[in-house]
Chains A and B, each alone.
Chain A
Amino acid sequence: MTKLYTFLKYFFISFWTVFVVAPFLWAVSTSFKDFQSVNSKVTYIPWLDFEPTLEGWRVLIKSPAKGGVDIVEPYFNSIFVTCTASLISIVLGTLAAYALSRFTFKAGFVRNNDITFFFISQRIMPPIVLSIPFFIFLSTIGLLDSLLGLVVVYIVLLMPIAVWIMVDFFNRVPKELDETALIDGCNPYQAFYKVVLPNSIPGLIVAGMFCIIFGWIDFFFAFILTFTEVQLLPVKVVALNSSITPWWSLSASALVSVAPLIIVAFVVERYLSKGNLSGALK
């Protein structure tokens, strides 16, 4: 019984691993091909099956004037927008979550849970519902097709995630911990940043990771709210596909764009395996 279970477990995991990793291997191999190798016959292994070339990668950093596509600028745009929006979302979201977790709000029929739900509802709504309001809003304040405009929109998208995760986290931090800090001579702000915050690092990391992931992969708003001045990476990658599909540079740019998320995953995974994400508070 247990043997069968172990067998099935590893069988399923191996199967799933192939399922997940195969497209990456395919992309890596394709990124080193040229037009000839992609279009002739099915090939997989460089040097053996086909002659590898760096053309697909070179195109990415060449300026359009020289026949390249230049994803360097969109890349840094994406990093800037994602990081700024995530940072602001975490700071504001954490403060909002702390207030929602510790204080009781009453305004008409509105209670704490309603406010929390209001935040989360921004994510439940299909994004397309927000596209027209956002477009009109940004064009009114003159931030259409600008990095700042995108940061503003992404804060709206990312802050609910931070609030959601952190409210849940703070609710599990005993209220008595804050009270002890108050009794020990901290005013409410000191209690927050000297006691509650240092014990919330695991929650902050998880919230930050989610913000970065959701900010980085967004295509929809980056596509609708920008035209020529500013471009984000997902839009640029998709735009590579024209009358003929340049599989080699498409693969290369896809690999470059998932790289940061893989790095984030490794960092968080190391942090997780040290056991720091749980057990600090019971």
Chain B
Amino acid sequence: MNLIGQNISYKPDDQFHLNDVSFNFKKGSLYTILGRTLSGKTTLLKTIAGLLNPDKGVISFEEKNFIKIPVWERNVAMVYQQFINYPHLNVYENITFPLVQRKLSPEHIKKDVDEALKTVGLVGFENRKIQELSGGQQQRVALARSLAKKAKILLLDEPLVNLDYKLREQLREEFKRIFSEGLSQDTILIYSTTDPQEVMELNGEVIVLDEGKVLQKGPAKEIFENPTNLKVAEISNDPPMNVLKGSKNLKNLNFENIFLEIPNHFKNLEDKDYNFGIRASEVKLDDSGEEFEIELAEISGSETLLHLKRGNSKIIALIEEVMNFKIHEKVKINFNANKFYAFGEDEKLVSSPYGGSNG
């Protein structure tokens, strides 16, 4: 009874948009697809919706070949990152549109639409024109339309990306509530995003996509703690995980003429060259630390992002307060060696502070 995809490939030009993607989505679960822009997230969702036909591969749902079923008979719902509603209809008509299309009885429609309006918090907006609504409200209408449909597969394609920061935070909170309350137990919810924080908060099963390929599958926590390779580590962290080329020898870790004590989880590693990974939030300002040059300092919200350079290595430090820095100023920073990841030269995970490895 699951939504199963096997070896799906889609290559409309000389580049793969989807490259041998397989999945098994169970009813009543939430799946997030994490990937950078152009990684194939939208393509995958459109393939499931039926807007695109893959060149290779099989999609089946409830033991039926899904590819043979045209879009308009698939009973899926989709919310786009652009706020797509029907501009010629008002809010109420927008939400009823798919239900009227299915020729449901007026009483049934009214009940479902009122419920959906309540879930997304748009009661009282029924007669408004779409153009009179703010971006966040427009996206709520789109969401209400897909909820009212009671589709078995609900696809959300970066629904928050075009909203401003504050609204995004607020709607993200609401999404968690809506997903737990407003959905029936046999809905498959698939949510795509570029934002690792969203993935962590929604806390479902994650698929990490890059250049159309599945890099890793697993629960959000697992992706965060044990990314199987450098790419995943970069994609699943914002700012991306810092990479430092260095080596381990008998006594210490060495990169850019910095020597660190070997942390416990690295004790059993072979002595050779590694790509060390460290999260931006684990890079701390420390007067007894090593000297780096500031290339750029960004203040976002209550945090400061420092882009630092030393030798050939560039790293980002995330400071949890607003501070003013001058460009080209030297600062001293320290690394928490206990939080170091080690990736081999083939970029695969060798050791993580949470105990995972590819060995």
Using CB atoms and an 8 Å cutoff, list the residues of chain A in contact with chain B.
174, 176-177, 179-187, 190, 195, 198-199, 279-281
| Inter-subunit contact A281/B149 (CB<8 Å) | no
Residues of A close to B85: CB separation below 8 A: 180
Q: Please report the C-alpha to C-alpha distance between residue A182 and residue B97 in the assembled complex, in whole angstroms.
A: 11
| Inter-subunit contact A184/B88 (CB<8 Å) | no
Q: Please report the C-alpha to C-alpha distance between residue A47 and residue B125 in the assembled complex, in whole angstroms.
A: 63
Report how many residues on chain B are interfacial, defined by Cβ distance under 8 Å: 26
Beyond A183-B71, A184-B101, A199-B88, 4 extra complex contacts between A and B, CB < 8 Å = A177-B84, A182-B50, A184-B98, A186-B72
Report which residue of A177, A180, A183, A198 has the largest number of chain B beta carbons within 10 angstroms of its beta carbon.
A183
| Inter-subunit contact A187/B76 (CB<8 Å) | no
| Inter-subunit contact A184/B84 (CB<8 Å) | no
Residues of B close to A183: CB separation below 8 A: 49, 51, 71-72, 74, 76-78, 98
Among residues 22 to 66 in chain B, which have CB atoms less than 8 Å away from a CB atom of chain A?
46, 49-51
Per-residue CB proximity of B72-90 to A under 8 Å, as 1/0? 1110111010101111100
Instruction: Choose among A174, A179, A185 the residue that contacts B98 (Cβ–Cβ < 8 A).
Output: A185
Residues of B close to A186: CB separation below 8 A: 72, 101
Residues of A close to B74: CB separation below 8 A: 183
Q: For residue A279, which residue of chain B has the nearest CB?
A: B131
Interchain nearest-CB distance for B285 vs A (Å)? 44
Per-residue CB proximity of B97-113 to A under 8 Å, as 1/0? 11001100000000000
Interchain nearest-CB distance for A22 vs B (Å)? 42
Residues of A close to B80: CB separation below 8 A: 176, 180
| Inter-subunit contact B102/A195 (CB<8 Å) | no
Report which residue of B71, B76, B98 has the largest number of chain A beta carbons within 10 angstroms of its beta carbon.
B71
| Inter-subunit contact A184/B145 (CB<8 Å) | yes
Q: Please report the C-alpha to C-alpha distance between residue A4 and residue B232 in the assembled complex, in whole angstroms.
A: 63
Using CB atoms and an 8 Å cutoff, list the residues of chain B in contact with chain A.
46, 49-51, 70-74, 76-78, 80, 82, 84-88, 97-98, 101-102, 131, 145, 149
Interchain nearest-CB distance for B78 vs A (Å)? 5
Residues of A close to B71: CB separation below 8 A: 179, 182-183
| Inter-subunit contact B101/A185 (CB<8 Å) | yes
Q: Please report the C-alpha to C-alpha distance between residue A199 and residue B86 in the assembled complex, in whole angstroms.
A: 8
Interchain nearest-CB distance for B100 vs A (Å)? 9
| Inter-subunit contact B77/A174 (CB<8 Å) | no
Q: For residue A104, which residue of chain B has the nearest CB?
A: B12
Instruction: Choose among A174, A176, A184 the residue that contacts B97 (Cβ–Cβ < 8 A).
Output: A184
Report which residue of B46, B74, B78, B145 has the largest number of chain A beta carbons within 10 angstroms of its beta carbon.
B78
Q: Please report the C-alpha to C-alpha distance between residue A280 and residue B88 in the assembled complex, in whole angstroms.
A: 8
Q: Please report the C-alpha to C-alpha distance between residue A195 and residue B100 in the assembled complex, in whole angstroms.
A: 13
Residues of B close to A187: CB separation below 8 A: 70, 72
Q: For residue B101, which residue of chain A has the nearest CB?
A: A185
| Inter-subunit contact A280/B131 (CB<8 Å) | yes
| Inter-subunit contact A182/B51 (CB<8 Å) | yes
10 closest A-B pairs (Cβ-Cβ)? Answer: A184-B98, A185-B101, A198-B88, A182-B71, A176-B84, A180-B84, A176-B80, A185-B72, A183-B78, A280-B87
- Interchain residue pairs with CB less than 8 A apart (5): A176-B82, A179-B51, A181-B86, A185-B73, A195-B88
- Asked if A174 meets B82 with Cβ closer than 8 Å, knowing A182-B72, A183-B77, A184-B97, the reply is yes
Residues of A close to B78: CB separation below 8 A: 179-180, 183
Q: For residue A197, which residue of chain B has the nearest CB?
A: B88
| Inter-subunit contact B72/A281 (CB<8 Å) | no
Q: For residue B77, which residue of chain A has the nearest CB?
A: A183
Q: Please report the C-alpha to C-alpha distance between residue A186 and residue B50 in the assembled complex, in whole angstroms.
A: 13
Q: Please report the C-alpha to C-alpha distance between residue A282 and residue B171 in the assembled complex, in whole angstroms.
A: 23
Interchain nearest-CB distance for B116 vs A (Å)? 14
Q: Please report the C-alpha to C-alpha distance between residue A182 and residue B49 in the assembled complex, in whole angstroms.
A: 10
Q: Please report the C-alpha to C-alpha distance between residue A174 and residue B98 in the assembled complex, in whole angstroms.
A: 19
Q: Please report the C-alpha to C-alpha distance between residue A90 and residue B70 in the assembled complex, in whole angstroms.
A: 30
| Inter-subunit contact B72/A174 (CB<8 Å) | no
Interchain nearest-CB distance for A162 vs B (Å)? 21
Q: Please report the C-alpha to C-alpha distance between residue A265 and residue B14 in the assembled complex, in whole angstroms.
A: 50
Interchain nearest-CB distance for A176 vs B (Å)? 5
